Amino acid sequence: MARLTGNTLRTVRFYEEAQILQPDRRSAGGHRLFSRRQLDRLQFITDMRATGLSLEEIRALLELKNNATTGGQAATSAVEAIDGQVTVLEQKIAVFTRLRDELTRAREILTECKKCANETCFPDACGACDVISERTSVPQSMRVLWGIEPRRGNASRAASDEDAADAG
């Protein structure tokens, strides 16, 4: 079961001890035996953990039905909880997509930088190198990794980022 869901035996035991996963029975040799339903449950827990949910948040989702007095109440609670999780996931997907695109663009530039033999620019003036200076924009991740000052066109974003940092 652990192997089928990409977990360790230790994780499965932990979830059993936390009482969010229950073996259906034990074999004569004492091995835990789980049903398909518990396998699905473990996969769900694993996926939810991968999205960043805490064990308590997952437990709350798993207990929604049991904590309700009617099917309608259970469904209403589940829809609200799922809507909240979908919103969070959409926000994370937007960040992941933006970051993937940023890093892909930075990788393209860095691939060109692998040929660098420009001793006058490296390491302190990489922003003056043609590989970087001839671009209309340099991704934030590249500016951060390579210590490149934002250009005038990027200054407004940098200023708003600094304002956000000051506000934090």
pLDDT at 167: 55
Q: Given this model, what pLDDT does residue 147 score? A: 93
Per DSSP, what are the bridge partners of residue 32?
26
* 102 lies in some domain: no
Residue 114 resides in a domain: no
Domain membership of residue 68 (yes or no) is: no
Domain presence at residue 77: no
Give one word for 85, left, alpha or beta, with left for phi > 0 and alpha for psi -120 to 50: alpha
Assign residue 39 the CATH number of its domain.
Answer: 1.10.1660.10
- Strands (DSSP E) along the chain, which ranges? 25-26, 32-33
Identify which of 131, 137, 127 has the alpha carbon closest to the alpha carbon of residue 157: 137
Q: What is the pTM of this model?
A: 0.73
Residue 78 placed within a domain: no
Residue 45 lies in a domain: yes
Instruction: Give domain status of residue 149, yes or no.
Output: no
| Structure token pair of residue 117 | 């033999």
Predicted confidence at residue 148, as pLDDT, reads 94
Q: Which domain holds residue 2?
A: 1-54
> pLDDT tens digits for the chain (168 residues)?
999 999 999 999 999 999 999 999 999 998 889 999 999 999 999 999 999 999 999 999 999 999 999 999 999 999 999 999 999 999 999 999 999 999 999 999 999 999 999 889 999 999 999 999 999 999 999 999 999 998 775 444 444 454 445 555
What pLDDT is attached to residue 155?
Answer: 47
User: Can you tell me whether residue 25 is helix, strand or coil?
Assistant: strand
Residue 7 is assigned to a structural domain of this protein? yes
- For the chain, how many structural domains are there in total? 1
Please tell me the predicted confidence (pLDDT) of residue 160. 47
